[in-house]
Amino acid sequence: MIEIPLAVFVLLIAPVAALLLGFFILRPAKPDWTHWPILASCALVCVASLALAARVYTGWGIDATIYTWMAAGNWGVPFGVRVDGLSASMLLMVSLVGALIQVYAVGYMKGDPGFSRFFLYFHMFYLAMIGLLLSNNYVQFYLFWEMVGVASYLLIGFWYEKEAPRKAAMQAFLTNRVGDFGLMLAVLILLSLFHGNTRFAVVFPLITAVNPSLIALVGLLLFWAATAKSAQFPLYFWLPDAMEGPTPVSALMHAATMVTAGIFLLVRSWPLIAAIGNLPELIGAVGAITAIGAAIIAATKTDLKRILAYSTVSHLGLMAFALGLGQVAPAMFHLITHGFFKAVLFLCVGNIAHALGKGSVEVCDVGGVAKKMPVTFACFSVGAISLAGLWPFAGFYSKDAILKAALHHGGMAAAAGLLIETLSAFYIFRMLFLTFLGPRTEQKGPGRAQEPGLMMRVPIVLLSLGALSAGWFFSHFSTMLSSGWPLRDGVAPLPEFSRTTLAAATAAAALGVLAAYWLTMMRPAWDWRWRRDHPHWEEIFQSDFGWKEVVRFFVHWFGGLAHKIGRDWDEKAWDGFIESTPSVARRLGEAGSALASGLINDYLWWMLAGTSLLLYAVIR
Amino acid sequence: MTGAIWGACGVLFASGLILMVFRRQLLAMLLGLELMINAANIALVYYSSLFADAETMSVALLIIAVAAAEAVIGLSLIIQLQRSARPTDSASLRELFG
């Protein structure tokens, strides 16, 4: 029996206990206090994940099954934990960023009638992600994967009395179902291939020993699942619409708990995926397409949260792109730095929305906010510079590692890498300049906006420190990630820096920043003018280069098909069958009751026949 | 000897069964029942004496007691029917009709 450290249990028990306490005791008695056990649980989770990360850093790791539910032979639903470099490093980021966002949410959601409900959902989201990261087998992974999906559905539709959040929640859930189905099929295939044992430690060494075409199918299905959860083309469209939820939800979903799950699935299954020829190339190509397309669309959006949403899609695409180049460590590292700076950016937008008293903020609602909200401005700048990938901020280190691999690969990959770099610098600085500087004549200006309370400022400042400094730990991260890795030859460490990459990355990012400065500050009306002069371009961007139309057509067609099947199959075939059952039952009953004549002698005949049969069976 | 005993038992049991199944007169059916029980009992007694087994002999006694008790219940049911002026014919007892 392997000894499981207390910290692992704390990670799972603290959130569950906080949820139970909050739901059964505080919600009925004192709903305004629901956040206290939850914040305490966040603190415990952070301490536990720090302790685990410290141990993993020194080379420790664990993979143990705690308990098997419904065991039947080899089959069962095992519940285990796996703490290795991958899960511990991501756990550290998720627990810290998630905890800070929950502190922020206390300030943001204060006074909302659903305050206690919000915190219970929110913490369930957090718990689901922690459980997902700790899973040691695919079945358990699938369980938490679905729990993440349910929690996101509840939170996106948190303001359910309005129509848009309800629709967005349904869209997010259904789109995710399309992907989840892929994961379910993959898990079922793995279950049958490995006779019910889907532990990562069992599956990966045996990849080459089983049917290669089925394994290839599993790899494709896993990637399909990741495209839904991690918002990759073709299933990315739910994420921008998921902005209808409260801002802390968006922050948590984008930075820590939801969209990163898909990338985590790919990295976790990397030994499987890397063994399938051409699948990494496919992932890389899809990632590059997503990254470039979403970055262009992000540069044309006017809703602040939507700009950030497309930016997340673009960055997830960049991670998939890095994975496609075989760069697992840079992809994971970018996932972690992205978690920090994207959380800052979202929470800063949350501050502005909170100050203006609005759910969603358009570019024309703001302008010149920097004067009224200097702390928010400073934090947003840190996040933006980090996202653009300028030295020495966190984003620089992770993007640089990816870019280096792209340049090394050369050709299209190098061009794509540099284009993504320039575009992301452009859209985030466009957003920065449009929001915080000015105001321009088309904008309303900051009005009476002011900084929010301490509860909302402190988490942002702490997170922006993370967005500033997370990159400095790249060598530590590299050491940690390779500890307990399931690959036999280990994971390649993060590459060292080279002058050419640094120069190319900085030049590309600077180009983006300068272009943004020129188009928003030197010619302040540009953003409004091109929309007016070229309405068909605006239409193209609004429909995501026509993809939204394709999706709409597909949904329409599929809905029509379902309707047809529903009417024809349900009303005629199925209902006909149902309605015919009573008369069949009646006839059967009449035939049966004819046997029961009531005459004792007839019964005796039956008894004789039965006894004879029984005797025959015994004697034979 | 065994063959003769089996023959006697078989004849008794078969005639009891025929009485039970074909006759509708309740008294005759009861008689058939007694015949069948005693057919089995004869075989039991024969084999218990063959193997000099006292335990089986006691089971034969037990069966006689059970047969007596069963005859009492059966006869009292028939008497009840007679008192209520219903025919003691099984064809008239259709309470079990489905």
The predicted model scores a pTM of 0.78
The answer to whether the CB atoms of B96 and A598 lie below 8 A apart is yes
Same domain, A348 and A459: yes
pLDDT digits (tens, 9 = 90+) for A241-269: 888 888 889 889 888 888 899 999 998 88
pLDDT at A287: 92
The per-residue pLDDT for A484 is 63
Residues of chain A in contact with residue B95, where contact means CB-CB under 8 angstroms, are 598
Q: How many CB atoms lie within 10 A of CB A383?
A: 31
Say yes or no: A591 contacts chain B, CB-CB below 8 A: no
Q: Do A600 and B93 touch (CB under 8 A)?
A: yes
Query: How much is the average pLDDT of A163-183?
Result: 90
* Positive or negative: CA dihedral A602, A607, A612, A614: positive
Average pLDDT over residues B42-71: 90
- In the numeric block, the tokens 């002698």 are attached to A601
Distance CA A206, CA A214 (A): 13
Are A600 and B22 within 8 A, CB to CB?
no
CATH number for position B86: 1.10.287.3510
* Residue A407 to residue A414: CA distance in whole angstroms: 4
**Would you call A538 exposed, middle or buried from its count of C-beta atoms within 10 A (0-12, 13-18, 19+)?**
middle
What pLDDT band is residue A490 in, cutting at 50, 70 and 90?
A: low
Closest-CA distance, B90 to chain A, in angstroms, reads 6
CB contact under 8 A, B97 and A597: yes
What is the number of other CB atoms lying within 10 angstroms of the CB of residue A550? 14
Same-domain status, A293 and A272: no
**Is the ipTM here above 0.85?**
no
- Between A145 and A545, name the one with better pLDDT: A145
On the question of pLDDT at A137 being above 70, the answer is yes
- A121 vs A116: CA distance, rounded Å: 9
pLDDT for A491 equals 62
Beta bridge partners of A77: A69
A261 and A283 share one domain: no
B62 vs A195, more confident: B62
Write down the pLDDT at residue B5: 92
Q: Which of A257, A277, A297 is the last residue of a domain?
A: A277
Residue B38: predicted pLDDT:
92
Query: What are A541-552's pLDDT values in tens digits?
Result: 888 888 888 888
Whether A599 sits inside 8 A of B17 (CB atoms) is no
CA distances for A321 relative to A139, A269, A297, A371, angstroms? 27, 16, 18, 39
| Domain identity same for A256 and A371 | no
**Chain B residues with CB-CB distance to A under 8 A?**
17, 20-22, 24, 29, 90-91, 93-98
Q: Which residue has the tokens 């075939």?
A: A573
- Please check whether residue B95 lies inside any domain of the structure: no
Domain that holds residue A557: 551-619
Task: Check residue B46 and give its pLDDT.
Answer: 92
Which stretches within A242-327 are classed as H helix?
A: 247-252, 259-268, 270-274, 279-298, 304-324
The answer to whether residue A568 is domain-embedded is: yes
Residues whose CB is less than 8 angstroms from the CB of residue A160 and which lie 6 or more positions away in sequence, other chains included: A166, A169
Residues A389 and A309 in one domain: yes
A64 within a domain of the structure (yes/no) = yes
Nearest chain A residue to B14 by CA distance is A608
pLDDT level of residue A99 (50, 70, 90 thresholds): very high
Closest CA relative to residue A299, chosen from A541, A505, A546, A549: A541
Identify all chain B residues contacting A592, using CB atoms and an 8 Å cutoff: 98
What pLDDT was estimated at residue A357? 79
- A78 and A186 together in one domain: yes
Q: What integer is the mean pLDDT of A527-546? A: 82
Phi, psi (degrees; rounded to nearest 5) at A293 = -60, -50
Domain that holds residue B65: 2-90
The answer to whether residue A507 sits within a structural domain is no
Tell me, yes or no, whether B21 lies in a domain: yes
pLDDT value for B71: 93
pLDDT tens-digit map of A447-464:
777 778 888 888 889 888
Residue B28 lies in a domain: yes
Do residues A268 and A299 share a domain?
A: no
pLDDT at A370: 81
- Domain assignment present for residue A494? The answer is no
The whole-number average pLDDT for the span A317-336 is 89
Contact B98 A598 (CB under 8 A): yes
- Residue A16: its pLDDT value, please? 93
Complete DSSP assignment for A224-249: HHHHHHTT-TTSTTHHHHGGGS-HHH
- Average pLDDT across chain B, whole number: 89
Looking at residue A75, the DSSP 8-state letter turns out to be E
In a domain? residue A303? yes
The mean pLDDT value for A493-504 works out to: 77
Confirm if A248 and A347 have CB atoms less than 8 A apart: yes
Tens digits of residue pLDDT in A467-484: 888 888 887 888 788 776
> Comparing A7-21, A65-79, A293-307, which segment has the lowest mean pLDDT?
A65-79
**Tally of domains within chain B:** 1
User: Do residues A81 and A199 share a domain?
Assistant: yes
Collapse the DSSP code of A489 into the 3-class scheme (helix H, G, I; strand E, B; otherwise coil) and give the result.
coil
Could you tell me which residue, B63 or A563, shows the higher pLDDT?
B63
Judge whether residue A488 has pLDDT over 60.
no
Residue B97 lies in a domain: no
Structure tokens at A452: 């929010």
Whether the per-residue pLDDT at A281 is higher than 60: the answer is: yes
Q: Within a domain: residue A228?
A: yes
Q: Residue A493 pLDDT > 70, yes or no?
A: no
Domain membership of residue B96 (yes or no) is no
Which segment of A384-388, A439-443, A550-554 scores lowest on mean pLDDT? A439-443
**Tokens 């139970």 appear where?**
A20
Average pLDDT of every residue of chain A: 86
In a domain, B50, yes or no: yes
Share of chain A above pLDDT 90, in %: 30
Of A593, A600, A604, the CB nearest to B98: A593
User: Do A592 and B98 make contact, defined as CB atoms within 8 angstroms?
Assistant: yes
Domain boundary among A241, A260, A277: A277
Contact flag B22-A595 (C-beta cutoff 8 Å): no
pLDDT at A492 over 70: no
The DSSP 8-state label assigned to residue A523 in this structure reads S
Closest CA of chain B from A608, distance in Å: 9
Q: How far apart are CA A353 and CA A347, in angstroms?
A: 10
Closest Cβ opposite residue B21 in set A594, A595, A608:
A608
Between A593, A601, A605, which is nearest B90 by CB?
A601
Q: What share of chain B is helix, strand, coil (3-state, %, to 5)?
A: 80, 0, 15
pLDDT digits (tens, 9 = 90+) for A404-430: 888 888 788 888 888 998 999 999 999
In this structure, the answer to whether residues A105 and A165 fall within a common structural domain is yes
Distance CA A538, CA A541 (A): 5
Residue-level pLDDT at A221: 94
Q: What's the total number of domains in chain A?
A: 3
Q: Is residue A182 part of a domain?
A: yes
Find the mean pLDDT for residues A158-171.
89
Select from A277, A292, A312 the last residue of a domain: A277
* pLDDT higher than threshold 50 for residue A613: yes
Tell me: do A121 and A192 sit in the same domain: yes
Top pLDDT among A498 and A180 is at: A180
Is a pLDDT exceeding 50 seen at residue A351?
yes
